[in-house]
Structure 1
Amino acid sequence: MNVQDRQGLALGFAGVAIFALTLPMTRLAVGTPAAPLMSGWFIAFGRAAIAGLLSIAFLLATRAARPRRADWAPLALTAAGVVFGFPLFSSLALRYVEAVHASVIIGALPLATALVGALLHRQRPSVGFWLCGSAGSALVILYALLKSGNGVALHFADLLLLAAVACAAVGYGYGARLSQRMRAEHVICWALVLSLPLTAPLALWTAPRAAVPASAWFAFGYVALFSMWIGFFAWYRGLALGGTVRVSQVQLVQPFLSMLFAVPLLGERLDALTLFFALAVLATVFAGKKMPVHAAPRRPHVSLEQA
């Protein structure tokens, strides 16, 4: 592993550590069915609107060049995944499931990100890599089924979390590709600014009408400043340096970190079953890191004379 790969993994881990607090902080902001606080709609749109306003200032301060015409479509897909999809689906789900539970479900994200990255960047992970990723994802699904209480059916909140995983993977994949030719910080900033015409009015429309405790506002501030903005500076840079397929596997430690944060912050209980599945999923990252990831072979160039 060269220096660039190590830097990519280090930045990727920094981003994951920031993102690991997202689920506990979101749960703290939305409350429970018995004691609801902010709506999941406001959490999703409000955090994006605040980060979008900060992004305008950052882009002006750094004299960022406008994206090229070809970059607007990938930026829109990035925004659809990480500005709208993941925040909205995860915020709605966390009203009904604990952050510890949601943390394990989000463990499916590395494989989804690797799949999107492999398609977009024409990389060919080895069979061993996919076996490790598939094993981690299978553990996540099994855990959700065991905790659902329905035997063979997922809770609707688990379905929302899986939808959030799919959205994040698309946003990560396209954002990482843009980070190859744009500054990583500018990728998320332009995605947020592009979304502002929707996120700002929706945030005002869904804003709390009743008083909510200061702890909920603190949690909302975290997901707006760190989860929606600063964390992506490190994450997209790490994906660009180390490769989407390999660095995405660092996300396998995110569920465990989220649990460690959720227990003291929310008073949630970490039972033996959850701990077992979290550790089992975590174990797959170390195996996956050692599996080779190859670039797809280039097509041979055929000149007009040869044709």
Structure 2
Amino acid sequence: MATSIKDVAKEAGVSIATVSRVLNDIDVVNEDTKKKVLDAIKLLGYRPNIIARSLKTQKTKTIGILLPDVSNQFYPEIVRGAEDVSNIYDYNVILCNSDLDIEKEKEYLRVLKEKMVDGVLYMSSSLQEEILDLINELDLKTVLVETKDKEGKLPSVTIDNIKGSYDSTKYLISKGLKNIAFVGTKKNNMNAWGDRYLGYEKALKEAGIEVNEDLIYLDTIKVKSGYEAVDEFIKKGIKVDGVVCASDEIAMGVINRFREKGINTPNDVSVIGFNDNYAASIFYPKITTISQPTYDMGSVAMRMLIKLLNQNELEESHYVLEHELIERESTI
């Protein structure tokens, strides 16, 4: 038979109300009594009924983390940073993978509300108005990670994605390259990935280089987009001497497809990625990329969310963390 709160009270020699106060972290219990209760809980292996507790406290000590693509190496490190902080504050995590599907995103938000999560860390493949409306309708305490809504209504932790891609493009231009392609996602996407096109465009215009639509391939941030982009460039007979990619996965696809076509990286074409996934550092050739502080993004976002849940004021609503250009072997 499962251990009850009554059993814990009897073992500790206190009232059920005192055990309840300890479980709910109410400060009126003195330290000696609190230790007796915690020792009894450990001895008896008691696990409180979360749903029953939440009906009284209106809190489940659970946080949902919604990410767009669990197979992308970028996101696990963000989750690790978030989870490490959640463990410090005794919060549990529910992980949801939307698989780049906006309908799944909406369904998961509804499910998280039904599960009575206290709040959500939200990483989005498409931060559309209907998603923001749903978050508001469900009254979910939410912190955005890696992206920011246009009006800045929700707290966020990001890097400057426009600047990151601008730095990538400017770096290739500084090497004397002029026929620089871009492979990424649609430029009107309301998220970090869309911003990366804007940085590419800005750097070209600033350098007096005309933006050539034939050098732009917009699809997903997966490896296949890199393969398909190269095929398109070759089919059109376009000279390409550099490629700015919106992710390291795209860069890997670009490099491999060029290699299959007898085109060498970096001697014939320089390729630069984004995110600095671990694979970028061991791929052949090792990929020049923009590094994001992924662990810090997750930990900062989780601390922000926990402050919100405890009705503490945020020192900053929108954190923009520093990125870094990592030079490796895929660029001349």
TM range (shorter): under 0.3
Higher strand share: 2
**TM-score after normalising by structure 1:** 0.22
Higher helix share: 1
**TM-score after normalising by structure 2:** 0.21
Q: Which has the higher contact order (CA 8 A, sep 6+)?
A: 1
**Rg comparison, structure with higher value:** 2
